[in-house]
């Protein structure tokens, strides 16, 4: 049971600041995922929380206590590393027991904890083996087991699945989710660059970019109501289509004219002064549908590429704009390169962003 | 699927059975030929500079060769090693290398010098390596600077230290006297009590960098993340050193120790220059050199050289065997 409170946390290496004042509240028992492109500072933030890196500015509190100057051990955290970081010369058992032997815990107690963690992770048959005799997935379990035996207040995961193959990644992801359910009250912080991991595991996602928090929210909040262009394009795959547009009429609903598209009403209210302003219109590939034959739709263009993935068909459309428009159409859609098609989208599925990249809120989505 | 699997392998095996033997043997014959071709120059050089002189030395150790007349050497059996001379009156005496007190003194000096200096160098080298492995400003410069003693030719450093340790003009005595550690100048290289220590001090000064470099290479193979894991686990740094670092760099240390030990057992130049004609420091190599070239006992010197070779070969074999056993057990 632990709450974390980050207030203006900064981290600089010499003159280079990589975290520019992070404010974050993490509730007890919450599963929080830090996500962002490489170099965004998510791993650094995790290492700052772990106590592996000094905090340059701001405060970090665990359960209301400032822990800036506290050693990792006294913070009551455990960490699972991307590279597993197992002691190569020690057996699985010793790897898990090594950190415990100093805590004055009795031998029997250590043994009980190690065996319990091993049972939980189904690595009991490998307790006498060395890490090099295990597969990647098994090593990862040992690393998680080592963290569990410490009975931490806060669990930290640094890209724990990135060294596993695709099938194992899905399986381990599910196991981590189950682990979190089983360890009631244990706060978990998980770093990844994989948005699928973020979406599936997180209670809340923290999107980081260039050392700033872009948005904090539940996976569905981030997907449905991105605060800004960065989050809009980072969450969701393929990324949201963003087109330069101009406001043609203001009021309760706003009429915009996107580049290479038709005039469209977005259910967002804008002040009269916003008329003729340059904005960005965003629409997710999966929100685009083929306009009925003969209909004009929202966008009209020539198909430049068709990718069939089985359950969906990705269509790339040249609308005369800078970038092709991507549409994700359900099922196997019989389309050929070179044909001209029209795509439409529900007005509620359209996102409007100001020239500064901040979202112009959609009232209808908010109400829903 | 199952059908395909069960029928495919026999066909493929059958094909391989026909095609492989001829193909493989031709290919491996080619490879073997080119391997010998590449090895040949080195083998010739080794035969000329190592095998031939060694064989000659071993041969001379069984003869009565003298430096003036190597070609007129006659086989005398084991006389250079051990011979019982009967005086005819019921008494007799053993002669030869194995009965030579001076030789055994040299063996003892060499072994003592090797054990002490290599032990000190290992500990100091480990300390240096640990320091040089930690990041600090100017580390590259320090790493280069540490190597300087090792880069100086032994003769030069021995002469330099001989002057520093000089009983009348040496800076060492001057410094120790001025801070009051000693009351009278010490003849470091000449006095029987200090001579062996003078040699050890210079050797440690000179070869610790080599040791540090080899151990540093081992340290750099240890993945950094396990130190972070230990930090998270809250393991005391001292315990991390004994339980994590040391076991992981032990192979590197073992290799460094055998390199240095073999070097130390053959020590000649340092002792020859620093403490000439001192029975307290006379090593096996110095003993052999004296007999070979100064006392005109070429065959006797050859016997000493052969014995030295045997001792080193034996120690190496035993050490490698023991170290490998240990490695097998620890891994």
Please write down the HEC assignment for all residues of A197-265: HHHHHCCEEEEEECCEEEEEECHHHHHHCCCEHHHHHHCCCCCCEEEEEEEEECECCEEEEECCECCEE
For the stretch B293-318, pLDDT in tens is 888 788 888 888 998 998 888 888 88
B323 belongs to a structural domain = yes
User: In 3-state terms, what secondary structure has residue B218?
Assistant: helix
User: How close, in Å, is residue A331 to chain B by CA atoms?
Assistant: 28
pLDDT-derived band at A215 (thresholds 50, 70, 90) equals very high
Q: What pLDDT is recorded for position B122? A: 94
Count of the separate structural domains present in chain B? 2
Proportion of chain A above pLDDT 90, given as a percent: 55
Q: Is B221 on the interface with A (CB under 8 A)?
A: no
A155-164, A291-300, B243-252: range with lowest mean pLDDT: A291-300
Strand partners, A342: A300
Residues of A in contact with B329 (CB under 8 A): none
In a domain, B75, yes or no: no
Distance from CA of A159 to the nearest CA of B (A): 14
Across the interface, whether the CB atoms of A99 and B231 are under 8 A apart is answered no
pLDDT recorded at residue A363? 47
Surface of B (27-66) touching A: CB under 8 A: none
On whether both B42 and B111 belong to a single domain, the answer is: no
Q: Please judge whether A74 and B236 are an interchain contact, meaning their C-beta atoms are less than 8 angstroms apart.
A: no
Question: In the 8-state DSSP scheme, what is residue B47?
Answer: I
Kindly state whether residues B162 and B299 are assigned to the same domain. yes
Residue among A78, A79, A89 with most chain B CBs within 10 A, to mutate: A89
Same domain, B218 and B120: yes
Q: Within this chain, do residues B31 and B154 fall inside the same structural domain, yes or no?
A: no
Asked if A76 has any chain B CB less than 8 Å from its own CB, the reply is no
Q: What is residue B42's predicted lDDT score, i.e. its pLDDT?
A: 95
B11 within some domain: yes
The residue among A187, A160, A156 whose CA lies nearest residue A78 is A156
Please tell me whether residues B54 and B107 are part of one structural domain: no
pLDDT category of residue A184 using cuts at 50, 70 and 90: confident
B69 in any annotated domain: no
Q: How far is A151 from chain B (nearest CA, A)?
A: 11
Distance from CA of A156 to the nearest CA of B (A): 11
A238: Cα within 13 Å, side-chain hemisphere: 21
Distance from CA of B233 to the nearest CA of A (A): 5
CB atoms within 10 A of CB A178: 11
Identify whether B48 is part of a domain: yes
User: Which CATH number characterizes residue B314's domain?
Assistant: 1.10.3720.10
Answer yes or no: is B322 within a domain.
yes
DSSP bridge pairs for B315: none
The answer on B142 and B26 residing in a single domain is no
Distance CA B253, CA B216 (A): 10
The vertex-B101 CA angle with B100 and B106, nearest 5°, equals 100
Interchain contact A99–B (C-beta under 8 A): yes
Percent of chain B topping pLDDT 90: 27
In terms of Cβ atoms closer than 10 Å to its own Cβ (0-12, 13-18, 19+), residue B230 is buried
Q: Rounded to a whole number, what is the distance in angstroms from the first to the last CA of chain B?
A: 42
Q: With an 8 Å Cβ cutoff, are B235 and A98 in contact?
A: yes
pTM: 0.77
Question: A316 and A324 in contact (C-beta within 8 Å)?
Answer: yes
- Residue to substitute from A46, A81, A87, interface B, most B β-carbons within 10 A: A87
Cβ B234 vs Cβ A99: under 8 Å: yes
List of chain A residues whose C-beta atoms are within 8 Å of the C-beta of residue B226: 85-88
Contact call for A72 and B230, based on CB within 8 A: no
- What is the structure's pLDDT at B22? 56
Contacts of B47 (CB under 8 A, 6+ apart): none
- Shortest CA gap B184–chain A (Å): 52
pLDDT score for A360: 87
Q: Is the residue at B31 inside a domain?
A: yes
Nearest to B226 among A50, A51, A87 (CB): A87
Note whether B173 and B189 are within 8 A (CB).
no
CA distances B293 to B225, B287, B290, B297, Å, are: 58, 10, 6, 8
B175-197 burial, b at 16+ Cβ within 10 Å, e below that, comes to eeeeeeeeeebbbbbbeeebbbb
Task: Give the residue from chain A lying closest to B221, CA to CA.
Answer: A88
Q: In what order do the strands lie in the sheet containing A154-158?
A: A77-80, A154-158, A187-192, A31-35, A204-209, A212-217
The alpha carbon dihedral of B249, B250, B251, B255 has a sign of positive
pLDDT of the residue at B331: 39
DSSP state of A153: S
| A91 touches B: beta carbon within 8 Å | no
Q: What is the pLDDT of residue B116?
A: 94
Contact yes or no for A72 and B231 at CB 8 A: yes
CA–CA separation, A61 vs A285, rounded Å? 41
Torsion over CA: A72, A76, A82, A84 (sign): positive
- Residues from chain B that touch A78, judged by Cβ atoms under 8 A, are 232
Pairwise CA distance, residues A251 & B118, whole Å:
88
B248 contacts in chain A (CB < 8 Å): 88-89
Q: How far apart are CA A232 and CA A289, in angstroms?
A: 19
B146/chain A closest Cα distance in angstroms? 28
In a shared domain, residues B192 and B247: yes
Q: Residue A151 and residue A109: Cα distance in Å, rounded?
A: 12
- In this prediction, residue A1 carries a pLDDT of 64
List domains and CATH numbers for chain A.
4-234 (3.40.50.300), 241-367 (2.40.50.140)
In terms of domains, do B28 and B115 share one?
no
Give the residue from B43, B58, B73 where a domain finishes: B58
- For the stretch A332-366, pLDDT in tens is 988 889 998 999 998 889 999 998 889 987 544 44
pLDDT over 80 at B7, yes or no: no
- Across the interface, of B229, B239, B331, the residue whose CB is closest to A89 is B331
Q: What is the pLDDT of residue A367?
A: 37
- Which residue does chain B place closest to A85, by CA atoms? B226
Task: Kindly give the pairing relationship between strand A254-258 and strand A241-249.
Answer: antiparallel
- Does residue B117 share a domain with residue B44? no
Query: B-chain residues within 8 Å CB-CB of A85?
Result: 223, 225-226, 228-229
Pairwise CB contact (< 8 Å): A81 & B248 = no
Q: Where residue B37 falls among pLDDT bands split at 50, 70, 90?
A: very high
Report the C-alpha gap between B218 and A163 in whole angstroms. Answer: 25
User: Residue B93's pLDDT is what?
Assistant: 76
Reference B260, options B307, B321, B215, B306; nearest CA is B215
Structure tokens at B59: 């041969």
Q: Do B118 and B175 belong together in one domain?
A: yes
Partner residue opposite B228 with nearest CB, options A85, A99, A130: A85
CA gap B96, B110 in Å, rounded: 20
- Tell me which residues of chain A, numbers 126 to 155, contact chain B at a CB-CB cutoff of 8 Å: 130, 146, 150
Q: Does the beta carbon of B315 lie under 8 angstroms from any beta carbon of chain A?
A: no
pLDDT digits (tens, 9 = 90+) for B144-180: 888 889 889 989 999 999 899 888 888 888 888 889 8
Q: Closest by alpha carbon to B278, among B212, B160, B195? A: B195
- Answer yes or no: do B223 and A130 touch at CB < 8 A: no
Report CA torsion sign: A224, A229, A235, A241. Answer: positive
Residue to test with chain A: of B233, B245, B249, most A Cβ within 10 A: B233
Q: Of B321 and A328, which is predicted with more confidence?
A: A328
Average pLDDT over chain A, rounded to an integer = 89
The span from the CA of A223 to the CA of A199, in Å, is 9
CB A256 within 8 A of CB A269: no
Our separate counts of H helices and E strands in chain B read 14, 2
- Is the pLDDT score of B24 beyond 70? no
- Please indicate, yes or no, if residue B51 is contained in any of the structural domains: yes
Residues B15 and B121 in one domain: no
Distance in angstroms (rounded) separating the CA atoms of residues A140 and A86: 9
- Looking at the structure, do residues B10 and B114 belong to the same domain, yes or no? no
Residue B193 is part of which domain span?
100-330
Shortest Cα distance, chain B CAs vs residue A78, angstroms? 6
């Amino acid at each position: 049971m632990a709450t974390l409170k980050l207030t203006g946390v900064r981290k600089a290496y010499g003159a280079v600041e990589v975290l520019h004042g992070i404010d974050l509240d993490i509730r007890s028992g919450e599963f929080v995922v830090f996500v962002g492109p490489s170099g965004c500072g998510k791993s650094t933030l995790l290492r700052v929380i772990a106590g592996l890196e000094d905090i340059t500015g701001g405060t970090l509190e665990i359960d209301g206590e400032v822990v800036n100057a506290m050693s990792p051990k006294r913070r009551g955290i455990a960490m699972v590393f991307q590279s597993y970081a197992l002691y190569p010369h020690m057996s699985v058992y010793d790897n898990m027991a090594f950190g415990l032997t100093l805590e004055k815990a009795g031998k029997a107690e250590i043994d009980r904890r190690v065996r319990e963690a091993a049972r939980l992770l189904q690595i009991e048959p490998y307790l006498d083996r060395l890490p090099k005799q295990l597969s990647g997935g098994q090593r990862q379990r040992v690393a998680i087991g080592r963290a569990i035996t410490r009975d931490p207040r806060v669990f930290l995961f640094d890209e724990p699945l990135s060294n596993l193959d695709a099938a194992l990644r899905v399986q381990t992801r599910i196991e981590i989710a189950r682990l979190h359910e089983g360890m009631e009250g244990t706060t978990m912080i998980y770093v990844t660059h994989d948005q699928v991991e973020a979406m599936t595991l997180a209670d809340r996602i923290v999107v980081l970019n260039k050392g700033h928090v872009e948005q904090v929210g539940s996976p569905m909040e981030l997907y449905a109501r991105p605060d800004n262009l960065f989050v809009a394009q980072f969450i969701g795959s393929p990324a949201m289509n963003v087109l330069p547009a101009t406001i043609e009429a203001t009021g309760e609903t706003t009429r915009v004219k996107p580049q290479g598209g038709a005039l469209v009403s977005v259910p967002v209210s804008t002040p009269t002064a916003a008329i003729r302003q340059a904005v960005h219109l965003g629409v997710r590939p999966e929100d685009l549908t083929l306009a009925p034959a003969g209909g004009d739709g929202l966008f009209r263009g020539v198909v430049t590429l068709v990718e069939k993935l089985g359950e969906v068909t990705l269509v790339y459309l040249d609308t005369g704009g800078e970038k092709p428009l991507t549409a994700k159409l359900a099922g196997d859609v019989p389309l050929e390169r070179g044909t001209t098609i029209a795509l439409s989208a529900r007005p509620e599925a359209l996102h409007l962003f100001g020239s500064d990249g901040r979202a112009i809120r959609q009232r209808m989505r908010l109400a829903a | 699927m199952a059908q395909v699997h069960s029928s495919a392998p026999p066909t493929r095996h059958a094909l391989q059975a026909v095609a492989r033997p001829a193909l493989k043997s031709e290919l491996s014959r080619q490879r073997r030929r080119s391997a010998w071709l590449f090895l040949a120059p080195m083998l010739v050089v080794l035969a000329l500079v190592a095998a031939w002189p060694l064989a000659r030395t071993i041969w001379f150790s069984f003869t009565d060769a003298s430096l003036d007349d190597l070609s007129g050497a006659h086989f005398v059996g084991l006389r250079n090693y051990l011979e019982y001379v009967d005086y005819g009156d019921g008494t007799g005496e053993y002669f030869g290398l194995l009965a030579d007190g001076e030789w055994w003194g040299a063996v003892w000096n060499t072994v003592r010098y090797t054990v002490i200096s290599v032990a000190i160098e290992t500990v100091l080298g480990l300390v240096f390596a640990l320091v040089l492995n930690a990041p600090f400003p100017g580390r590259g410069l320090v790493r280069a600077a540490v190597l300087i003693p090792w880069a100086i030719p032994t003769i030069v450093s021995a002469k330099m230290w001989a002057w520093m340790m000089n009983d009348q003009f040496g800076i060492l005595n001057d410094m120790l006297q001025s801070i009051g550690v000693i009351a009278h100048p010490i003849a470091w290289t000449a006095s029987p009590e200090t001579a062996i220590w003078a040699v050890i001090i210079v050797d440690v000064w000179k070869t610790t960098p080599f040791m540090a470099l080899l151990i540093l290479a081992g340290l750099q193979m240890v993945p950094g993340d396990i130190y972070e894991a230990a930090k998270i686990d809250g393991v005391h740094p001292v315990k991390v050193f004994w339980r994590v670092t040391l076991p992981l760099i032990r192979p590197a240390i073992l290799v460094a120790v055998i390199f240095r030990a073999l070097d130390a057992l053959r020590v000649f130049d340092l002792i020859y220059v620093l403490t000439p004609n001192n029975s307290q420091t006379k090593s096996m190599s110095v003993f052999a050199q004296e007999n070979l070239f100064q006392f005109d006992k070429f065959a006797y010197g050859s016997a000493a050289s052969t014995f030295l070779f045997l001792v080193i070969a034996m120690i190496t074999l035993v050490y490698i065997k023991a170290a490998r056993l240990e490695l097998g057990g620890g891994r």
